[in-house]
Amino acid sequence: MAAPVSKNEEAAWITAQTSRFGSVAVDPARIITMVSPFLGFPDSRRFFLRPHSEKSPFLWLQSLDRPELAFVTIQPAIILPDYRPEIPSAVLRELELEPGTQPDLLVILTIPAGRPKEMTANLLGPVALNV
Query: pLDDT per position in the chain (131 positions), as tens?
Result: 444 444 445 458 999 999 999 999 999 999 999 998 999 999 999 999 999 999 999 999 999 999 999 999 999 999 999 999 998 888 899 999 987 788 999 999 999 999 999 999 999 999 999 98
Whole-model pTM: value is 0.86
For the chain, the domains span 30-129
**Cα separation, 74 vs 66, whole angstroms:** 21
- Cα torsion for 10, 19, 110, 103, to the nearest 10°? -20
Residue type, 56: S
Q: How much is the pLDDT for 2?
A: 47
- Cα torsion for 121, 125, 130, 131, to the nearest 10°? -20
Q: Which fold has domain 30-129?
A: BH3618-like (2.30.290)
